[in-house]
Copies of this chain bind each other. A is one copy, B any other.
Amino acid sequence: MTHNYLGLDAGGTSTRAVVVSSDGRCRGIGKAGSGNPTSAGIQAATAAITAAVTQAVTSANAGQISGAALAVAGAGDAGHRAAIVAALSDLVAGEPVFEFDVLAAYFSGTAAPDGYVLLSGTGASAVRVEDGRLAAISDGLGWLIGDVGSGFWLGREVVRAGLAPLDGRGSSTLLTGLLLDTLGITPDDQRTGGRTSALVAATAALYAMAPLRLADFASLVFVAAGAGDRVAAGILDEAAAGLTETLAAVRTSDVEGPLVAAGSVLARQPDFANRVAPGAVVATDGLAGAAVLALRRAGVHVDDDVYLRVTSSLAQLASV
């Protein structure tokens, strides 16, 4: 008899849900806004999760959902988890299982129960997976004190290096013009309190943002480095060294498995991904991994055939 399960991949940008049957066929998907309770607030996160799950279940038209695996970023708080479980109680039979979101990233690239994932999105971390579970993690300590080589880390370095020449520090770099363009600031000759108008306007605009939004400037470093900018190349060298160290920290000779590269930075910058994670499978969609986690937690053996069915049926649903 075929059962149906729910996989959920909820992050700071979007929340996605999938209904998958025990043979690996994905039958319905749903999408909504941020489902990260820490950054979006628990009410907004719960609403987004409920919307995505309802959409997936409705479009699957598959009857009862026998179990669920929830990969929700920023859901460490027990109260938040209880609120999410309560919101899904009418949609899912049994108690949902919470999963590390990095595991969904890992299984979006491979069906192998043992291996590694290096992630650089807004944050950055590396994980060793053993028997389908998180065995070790390095970095992922967040924007303020960690996440070396992440989108936030790159964006902050872009800002620092881009602003420095505006008050006579650092080296001349294309990042200055790219940053001011992105902020919509046109330099002029005025000064306020000893600072150029461009620097005053840029500083005000940057502090008006939530700190994590600095990740939005990460792409500029690749643009500038591609145009031969040495400052940008230096930032990428440092990011690559940090990510390489992060991955090395979870490597062990006992686990030979595949390497998955995930997160928006690595998914969008294949050359950089190849530099920090040579030979890695680049995973662009955490939803396949959420489906695999739902199957694994339900006791379904996810072999290469089932895995291929997951990814191909998901691709078909997403293209509709």
Contact = CB atoms under 8 A, between A and B. Distances in A.
Given A142-B203, A144-B206, A170-B245, A193 B160 contact: no
A145 interface: yes
A194 B163 contact: no
Contacts of A211: 144
A139 B249 contact: no
A211 B210 CA distance: 13
Interface in A119-154: 127-128, 134-139, 141-142, 144-146
A195 interface: yes
Contacts of A134: 193-194
Contact of A168 (B100, B169, B249): B249
Nearest to A142: B207
Contact of A146 (B163, B194, B248): B163
A195 B137 CA distance: 7
| Secondary structure class of chain A's binding surface, majority of residues | mixed
A231 interface: no
Copies in the complex: 2
Contacts of A128: 194
Contacts of A199: 141
12 contacts: A100-B193, A128-B194, A134-B194, A138-B167, A138-B168, A139-B167, A141-B203, A144-B206, A144-B214, A146-B160, A168-B248, A170-B245
Contacts of A203: 141-142, 145
Nearest to A245: B169
Contacts of A207: 142, 144
Interface string A179-202: 000000000000001110001000
Interface of A: 100, 127-128, 134-139, 141-142, 144-146, 156, 159-160, 163, 167-170, 193-195, 199, 203, 206-207, 211, 214, 245-246, 248-250
A199 B249 CA distance: 15
Contacts of A156: 144-145
Contacts of A248: 168
A160 B149 CA distance: 13
A194 B159 contact: no
Contact of A159 (B139, B145, B159, B246): B145
Given A139-B167, A145-B156, A169-B249, 16 more contacts: A127-B194, A128-B194, A134-B194, A135-B194, A136-B167, A137-B193, A137-B195, A139-B169, A141-B199, A144-B156, A144-B207, A144-B211, A145-B214, A167-B249, A168-B248, A170-B245
A117 to B, nearest CB: 12
A136 B194 contact: yes
Sorted from nearest, which 9 A-B pairs have the closest CB atoms? A168-B249, A137-B194, A138-B167, A169-B249, A134-B194, A145-B159, A136-B194, A169-B245, A138-B168
Nearest to A128: B194
